[in-house]
Amino acid sequence: MKKIFTSLFLMATALMASAQNFTVTAFDGTKTLKDGDVIECGYEESLFGYNWDPSIVVTCNKNLTLTVTADAEMPAEGAVQFCGLTGQCQRLNGTPEVRTNAYNAGDKVPMQLDIIGGNVVEPVNATLQITDGQETVKITVTFVGEPQEELAISSVAAKGLQVSVNGRSLNFISDNSAELTLYTISGQSAVSRRISGSGSLNLSHLPAGVYIYRAGNKTGKIILR
């Protein structure tokens, strides 16, 4: 009997040791990532132009606080942006972005690391380091591909476009006049405005969720909560 209890104790200990506080997946959950993994992300053509999005998601297996450090090279064209945890999209131009947030068991947290700005002239490397203070998973994403987007004459690129979300307001800064359109994930146009200079759009009438903005050949994601 003592041997049985000892065996059960050892099995329980092994299961506890092997349990992960969180898991990281990519490409719509088809690939599970572990510390040190390197994945390659190409582009897909869609309504919004060319998208690079490895669809990295962290699933919390217990109540925890995640700290994520996102970093990337400075590509010759385009840019890598990180929108995870807070929904605020930040271009990564050589300065790491560190964010922390608390989550409950079962929460699925999208990391939203992607390319904006039209194309990738040569492979661009970005890193995500995800930790809860006990476990750490650091992965590298290599963005590849070289699509050349042909813009209609009436489609004017928004030079120097910067977009951020504050509550239910979308703040923008644009060096010139351009049409800014906000799409739902299903591809439906939600808001379309001609913008110039700096200002904000009231989005309080829109339901919570992920939206994609486009102005000329500039694209990106925002989250309304």
pLDDT score of 154? 30
Higher pLDDT residue, 210 or 150? 210
- Do 123 and 214 belong together in one domain? no
Per-residue tokens: 73: 């090279």
d(CA 88, CA 211): 12
Domain containing 170 equals 162-224
- Do 122 and 35 belong together in one domain? yes
- Do 117 and 168 belong together in one domain? no
Q: Write out pLDDT tens, residues 60-113.
A: 999 999 999 999 987 655 578 898 998 888 888 778 999 999 999 999 999 988
Where is the domain boundary, 84, 109, 143? 143
Residue 4 lies inside a defined structural domain of this protein: no
Percent of the chain with pLDDT over 70: 77
Over residues 159-166, the mean pLDDT reads: 76
Of 35-39, 81-85, 171-175, 187-191, minimum mean pLDDT range: 187-191
Cα 55 from chain centre: 7
Residue 110's φ and ψ, nearest 5 degrees, are -70, 135
d(CA 91, CA 115): 9
State how many domains the chain has.
Answer: 2
Residue 6 lies inside a defined structural domain of this protein: no
Over residues 23-45, the mean pLDDT reads: 88
* CATH code, domain carrying 181: 2.60.40.3080
- Do 35 and 86 belong together in one domain? yes
- Do 180 and 102 belong together in one domain? no
d(CA 38, CA 202): 40
Q: Report the sign of the C-alpha dihedral through residues 2, 17, 31, 184, in that order.
A: positive
Q: Is residue 170 pLDDT above 80, yes or no?
A: yes
Residue 121's φ and ψ, nearest 5 degrees, are -70, -40
